[in-house]
Amino acid sequence: MSDITALSASELAESLASGDLSSAEITQAHLDRMEATEGIVGSFLARSETALDTAQHSDARRKKGEARSPLEGVPVAIKDVLCTTDMVTTAGSRILEGWIPPYDATVVRKLREAGLVPLGKTNMDEFAMGSSTEHSGYHVTKNPWDLSRAPGGSGGGSAAAVAARQAPVAIGSDTGGSIRQPAAFTGTVGVKPTYGGVSRYGVIALASSLDQVGPVSRTVRDSALIHDVIGGHDPQDSTSIPTPWASMTEAADTGAQAADLAGLRVGVVKQLVTEGIQPGVKQRFDEALELMAAQGAEIIEVDAPHCEYAVAAYYLVLPAEASSNLAKFDSVRFGLRVTPEGNPTVEDVMAATRDQGFGDEVKRRIILGTYALSAGYYDAYYGSAQKVRTLIQRDFAQAFDKVDVLVSPSAPTTAFPLGAKLDDPLAMWAGDLTTIPVNLAGIPGMSLPMGLDPEDGLPVGLQLMAPAYEDARLYKAGATLERLFFERDGYLVSSRTPEVV
């Protein structure tokens, strides 16, 4: 059998079901891969000490005919923003260094109940604030395709772990593109579900009206399998949608078997295909549109005029909500406590703790958000941003009256060099141009690889968008496109061996 770590989650599940591989063998292979590459890539912040034991228990259940799900025994990496009772949860911040939660996030609980094997917690920009994973409080994660490049953010650790074959699948969170942009940079598949489609209980909040948990994988079907495990209503999350969901796996399988794209109306959002897009990214996007048209899809230009203001609105809504959510890290209840010399007051301890525990990007956004929420400025800033958000939601609703899915590049560029944007926050934020509107609108979005940039040889991501609740539509269309890209190129970008071998 070929290298175990090169197999997709679906292939691993088939090998487990047939008895060709055991979960212990699969888990050990990925642990070995982590051991060999982690010092180079830096995908993880913590590794599970019980992964092999969990895998052996999974093998025992399977021998008894008690497999809990199709993914029973398959390893998974988990972004460090989700609470885990057996590993530290830091959200990439020194202010939570060493903290082990007393409960699992609902998503983690569902993964365990389905028999998956957690490998560890992946690195991230602190409190998910960043687009390069350079703002982690611990270390920088590198892009497996080019170690001098960023893997994207905030979930660069999850995407890098999957791209480097340290894990077959991973869990991320997406507030403004933190699953989809890293997926684009690393040649993986990343999905942001409909807001409320996956529980946020036990997820350390950044911006509560925007955050959403989703899968990262090497194929559309693998993401669908994970989505079916983690999705669904959770009464512990007040924003969780109490509605039945279609099977994402069945949708992906239907799409993979489709003869072509006949009858699919594809909308191109002209505000998301701007002059600032890297030439190679634009070339691959245009080629993708040509391929879709050749396969029977109807390509329609769509006008979403308020997307022009999405980045500005987002960087008021997010900091405002982050300022409120991060107020709990006050040195009193849990986490880091820094006590100044002398006879400090509670306020002195709080100030010293937050000064030392938070990084520069987090401080920047807290200050911005606190200002936006302050007396006299609330309506002018936060209130106005929410009005723009409503207009963006209307733009998308009107667009979906005309088309079935929307498309754009997942990111304006391929992976940029590490350090290139650290001194220019506005340039870093502008890179989220294509992903942010999806979060503001609450709709589902997927990034899948559509080829390599002809100049730098790095992955380029295609973003698919669908109406709220229509996540299955993404998986159906995404699986068809994935197959078409494979037939065109003779390979999947996600299966190519990157620089780390």
**What is residue 150's three-state secondary structure?**
coil
154 catalytic per annotation: yes
| Concatenated DSSP letters of 107-123 | HHHHHHHTT-EEEEEE-
Q: Do the beta carbons of residue 290 and residue 296 sit within 8 Å?
A: no
Three-state secondary structure along 241-307? Answer: CCCCCCCHHHHHHHHHHCCCCCCCEEEEEHHHCCCCCCHHHHHHHHHHHHHHHHCCCEEEEECCHHH
* Spatial separation of the C-alpha atoms in residues 112 and 363, rounded to whole Å: 35
CB 73 within 8 A of CB 26: yes
Rounded to whole angstroms, the Cα distance separating 249 from 227 reads: 8
**φ, ψ (nearest 5 deg) of residue 277:** -75, 135
Q: Which of 210, 224, 286 has the alpha carbon at shortest distance from 255?
A: 224
By the 10 Å C-beta count (0-12 exposed, 13-18 middle, 19+ buried), 389 is classed as buried
Cross-strand partners of 405: 266
DSSP assigned state of 127: G
HSE-CB at 207 with a 13 A cutoff on CA atoms is 27
Three-class SS of 394-448: HHHHHHCCCCCEEEEECCCCCCCECCCCCCCHHHHHHCCCCCHHHHHHCCCEEEE
Instruction: Pick the catalytic residue from 43, 178, 410, 494.
Output: 178
Pull the structure tokens for residue 371.
């200002």
Strand ranges, E, within 112-241: 117-122, 170-173, 189-192, 213-217
Asked if 79 is an active-site residue, the reply is yes
**Beta carbons of 228 and 247 less than 8 angstroms apart:** yes
Annotated catalytic residue within 8, 15, 79, 173: 79
Could you tell me the two tokens for 177? 């593109």
Phi/psi region, residue 220 (left: phi>0; alpha: psi -120 to 50; beta: rest), is alpha
State the catalytic residue, choosing from 132, 154, 217, 447.
154
CA gap 448, 394 in Å, rounded: 26
Distance CA 256, CA 270 (A): 28
Catalytic residues: 79, 154, 178
